[in-house]
């Protein structure tokens, strides 16, 4: 199991942000951010369900990793990584399933720091690549993603309820 080490990021004209794995005792601090992310995507948050679900990504975990971005003593953003596999490359990949920064902390380099920390996790695990999805109308996020050097996928996503 590869453990994620804390990373301090500094971007010119931006804030200093520390990105590291969230500890079990910090999950309660993350719940309001998780709820904010869910509301952004028009889902109804449930703290009890979120507590149970996101606890599975606290290190060590066979499922993934929950990263937090701290601006001083404030949890300003989070990212959830899922360990997955790709048949086309016959290798493990990492899915950046969630990326959220509190509105008052946006534009400071925190989202970029979370993406870079996620990329470091991919390298440390020896995974093939990092991938993620966003809503087609989330243009602010797409501007950030386009600026990272990531390539837009040609794949089309589908969902099917049971």
In whole angstroms, give the CA distance from residue 21 to residue 114. 11
In whole angstroms, give the CA distance from residue 134 to residue 63. 21
Give pLDDT, residue 143.
82
Segments of the chain with pLDDT less than 50: 1-4, 11
Can you say whether the dihedral through the CA atoms of 44, 58, 143, 140 is positive or negative? positive
Give pLDDT, residue 1.
39
- What pLDDT, in 10s, does the model give residues 103-134? 999 999 999 999 999 999 999 999 999 999 88
Q: Residue for token digits 């720091």?
A: 113
Strands 7-10 and 64-71: unpaired
Give pLDDT, residue 2.
44
- Within 13 Å of residue 140, how many CA atoms lie on the same side as its CB? 8
Give pLDDT, residue 93.
96
Give pLDDT, residue 13.
55
Closest CA to 89 of 120, 129, 53, 62: 129
Give pLDDT, residue 134.
82
């Amino acid at each position: 199991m590869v453990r994620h080490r804390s990373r301090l990021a500094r971007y010119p004209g931006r804030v200093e942000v520390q990105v590291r794995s969230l500890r079990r005792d910090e999950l309660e601090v993350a719940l309001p951010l998780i709820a904010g992310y869910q509301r952004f995507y028009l889902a109804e948050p449930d703290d009890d369900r979120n507590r149970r679900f996101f606890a599975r990504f606290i290190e060590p975990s066979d499922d993934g990793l929950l990263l937090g971005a701290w601006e001083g003593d404030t949890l300003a953003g989070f990212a959830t990584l899922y360990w997955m596999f790709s048949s086309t490359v016959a290798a493990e990949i990492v899915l950046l399933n969630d990326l959220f920064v509190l509105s008052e902390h946006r534009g400071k380099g925190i989202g970029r720091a979370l993406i870079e920390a996620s990329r470091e996790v991919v390298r440390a695990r020896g995974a093939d690549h990092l991938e993620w999805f966003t809503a087609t109308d989330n243009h602010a996020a797409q501007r950030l993603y386009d600026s990272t050097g990531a390539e837009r996928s040609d794949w089309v996503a589908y969902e099917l309820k049971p």
